Amino acid sequence: MKKTAVITAIMALMAALGLTGYKIVKDTGGPVGANVDSGLVEVGKVIDGDTFVLEDGTKVRLIGIDAPEEAECYFEESSSYLKWIIAGKNIKLEKDISGADEYGRLLRYAIVPSSDAAEDNLLVNEALVRDGFARRKQSPPDNRYRDLLAAAEAEAKKNERGLWKECAAILDVSSGANEEREIDTPPPSPECVIKGNISEKGYGKTYLVPGCDNYEKTKIDTRKGEQYFCSESDAVAGGFRKAENCP
């Protein structure tokens, strides 16, 4: 039996016996479904741990995560896990800001609807990260589940799940070499100094005006979707709320 088939069979058996340690379908902690494409779509082929093809031939790349590529550590396991979750199923696709990448693939969050009214839908992107089959990836301007994915990765690391155990040495080297340092982008003009900050600690999108307690300490990194605004009304229109430490 091929390695992929073995992995898939083991995963299915563990889930059936309730040995995974937590439910596969669980609360995602966020407003899943805020911008879902209309209707359900059927998954045809899974290419790897973050890419799949619909039955109509449309390619989809899961955003906010990065799974191992072919020949990399944990590629087979990651691919098999995604197949186990979505292959042959009808799922929902949720768009963030970007529509497609340079390769023509749709950039989406994937949601597996629950057949049990007592349980929540499954956000596939989060499940892959939380179970250790993918890493979170900064994908500005697509930041809807940024905090959720950060928490999922922290949990996977802490519990040494999946690639965080099997590929630990490689990940340590990779993280040290490729981790992006936070930058402090200056305001575009003296009139536009309201800071639109996106928290990684669960506070969401807030804006700060000069005079707010943490205004001077807050850095704006435009790579993460953060930005400056010229007025408070512009900040609110952009989905930001006023920080609680502001006068």
Cα-Cα-Cα-Cα dihedral of 66, 67, 68, 74, to 10°?
Answer: 140
Q: Mapping DSSP to helix (H, G, I), strand (E, B) and coil, where does residue 61 land? A: strand
Structure tokens at 8: 């898939």
Please identify every stretch of the chain with a pLDDT value under 50, giving residue numbers as ranges: 1, 4, 6, 10, 13-14, 16-34, 173-179
Strand partners, 90: 42
Strand partners, 186: none
Q: What is the pTM of this model?
A: 0.61
Residue 139: predicted pLDDT = 84
How many angstroms from the chain centroid is the CA of residue 3? 27
In what helix (H) or strand (E) does residue 194 lie, and over which residues does it extend? strand 194-198
pLDDT tens digits for range 80-110: 999 999 999 999 999 998 889 888 999 999 9
Residue 19: predicted pLDDT = 37
Q: Mapping DSSP to helix (H, G, I), strand (E, B) and coil, where does residue 161 land? A: coil
Residue 75: predicted pLDDT = 93
Considering Cα of 30, then 135, then 87, then 2, what sign does the dihedral take? Answer: negative
Structure tokens at 18: 């309730």
Q: Structural domain boundaries of the chain?
A: 3-178, 194-242
| The Cα angle at residue 119 between residues 113 and 125, in degrees rounded to 5 | 50
Strand partners, 195: 208, 228
Residue 24: predicted pLDDT = 40
Q: Which residues, 6+ apart, have CB-to-CB distance to 1 below 8 Å?
A: 9
Structure tokens at 21: 């340690």
Residue 25: predicted pLDDT = 38
The CATH architecture of the domain made up of 3-178 is Beta Barrel (2.40)
Residue 230: predicted pLDDT = 95
pLDDT tens digits for range 40-94: 999 999 999 999 999 999 999 999 999 998 888 999 999 999 999 999 999 999 9
